[in-house]
Amino acid sequence: MHTRTRRTSLSLLSFALALSLAPLAHATDAQAPEGPRALPGSLPLLPAPAHLEKLAGAGYTVTAATPLHAQGDAAQRVAGLFATQLKNSGGPALTVSSARGKDGIRLVLDTTLKTGTEGYQLRSDARGVTVQAATEAGLFYGAATLSQLLTSGTSGQLPALKIDDAPRFSWRGLMLDSARHFQSLDEIKRVLDAMAEQKLNTFHWHLTDDQGWRMEIKRYPKLTEVGSCRLPAGDGGRDPATGTERPYCGFYTQDQIREVIAYAAARHIQVIPEIDVPGHATAAIAAYPELGTIDTPLKPISEWGVFPNLFNTEESTFQFLENVLEEVIELFPAKYVHVGGDEAVKDQWEASARVQARMKEVGAGNENEMQAHLIKRLEKYLEQHDRRLIGWDEILEGGLPPEATVMSWRGTEGGLKAASEGHDVIMSPVTDMYMDYLQTNSENEPPGRPLSTPLGRVYGFEPVPDALARDKQQHILGLQANMFTEHTRSYARLQHNLLPRLAAVAETGWSPRERRDFADFLARLPTQLQRWQAMGIAYAQTPFEVEADVTDDRKAGTATLALRTPLNYEIRYSVDGSPVTAQSPRYTAPLTQPLPVGVQAATFFDGKALAKAASRFDITASSLLTRNDEHLDLCPAEGKLLLRLEDDGPANGPRAVFNVNIFNPCWYWQNANVDGIGKVRVRAGNIPYYFQLAHDEPQRRFEKARSAHGEMDILSGQCDGKPLATVPLPAKPDADGFITLEAALPRSLNGTQNLCVRFTGDTRPTMWVLDELTLLPR
Q: In this predicted structure, what is the pLDDT of residue 590?
A: 97
Average pLDDT over residues 661-665: 82
Residue 450 pLDDT level (bands cut at 50, 70, 90): low
Query: What are the Cα distances from residue 183, in Å, to 486, 491, 515?
Result: 13, 7, 35
Give the amino acid at 448.
Answer: G
Say how far apart CA 678 and CA 724 lie, in whole Å.
Answer: 12
The topology under which CATH files domain 543-620 is Immunoglobulin-like (2.60.40)
What is the pTM assigned to this prediction? 0.93
Residue 125 annotated among the catalytic residues of the structure? no
Instruction: Considering the candidates 2, 181, 268, 280, report the single residue annotated as catalytic.
Output: 280
Per-residue pLDDT tens digits for 487-500: 999 999 999 999 99
Burial category of 357 from C-beta neighbours within 10 Å (exposed 0-12, middle 13-18, buried 19 and up): exposed
Q: In this predicted structure, what is the pLDDT of residue 34?
A: 76
Run of H or E including 479: strand 476-483
Residue 225 annotated among the catalytic residues of the structure? no
Strand partners, 547: 564
Instruction: Considering the candidates 177, 193, 197, 209, report the single residue annotated as catalytic.
Output: 209
Q: In this predicted structure, what is the pLDDT of residue 28?
A: 39
Q: In this predicted structure, what is the pLDDT of residue 141?
A: 98
| Range in 6-20, 144-158, 289-303, 667-681 with the lowest mean pLDDT | 6-20
Residue 343 annotated among the catalytic residues of the structure? yes
Say how far apart CA 89 and CA 251 lie, in whole Å.
Answer: 31
Instruction: Identify which has the larger pLDDT, 368 or 698.
Output: 368
CATH code for the structural domain at 51-165: 3.30.379.10
Sequential DSSP letters for 718-751: STTSEEEEEEEPPSS--TTSEEEEEEEPPTT--S
Give residues with Cβ within 8 angstroms of 5, minimum separation 6: none
Average pLDDT over residues 721-735: 92
Query: What are the Cα distances from residue 737, in Å, to 481, 686, 732, 757?
Result: 37, 6, 8, 19
Q: In this predicted structure, what is the pLDDT of residue 634?
A: 84
Average pLDDT over residues 8-12: 28
Per-residue pLDDT tens digits for 253-284: 999 999 999 999 999 999 999 999 999 999 99
Say how far apart CA 345 and CA 561 lie, in whole Å.
Answer: 48
Mean of the per-residue pLDDT values of the chain = 91
Residue 444 pLDDT level (bands cut at 50, 70, 90): confident
Instruction: Considering the candidates 343, 379, 545, 633, report the single residue annotated as catalytic.
Output: 343
∠ at Cα 449 (737, 308), nearest 5°? 90
Say how far apart CA 195 and CA 146 lie, in whole Å.
Answer: 16
Closest CA to 204 of 170, 232, 177: 177
- Segments making up each domain of the chain, as ranges: 51-165, 171-510, 543-620, 627-777
Average pLDDT over residues 282-292: 98
Residue 636 pLDDT level (bands cut at 50, 70, 90): low
Given a contact cutoff of 8 angstroms between Cβ atoms, the answer to whether 339 and 273 are in contact is: no
Other C-beta atoms within 10 Å of 708: how many?
10
Looking at domain 171-510, does it have CATH number 3.90.550.10?
A: no
Please state which CATH class domain 627-777 belongs to: mainly beta
Give residues with Cβ within 8 angstroms of 49, minimum separation 6: 145, 163, 164, 165, 511
Instruction: Identify which has the larger pLDDT, 13 or 304.
Output: 304
Say how far apart CA 152 and CA 145 lie, in whole Å.
Answer: 11
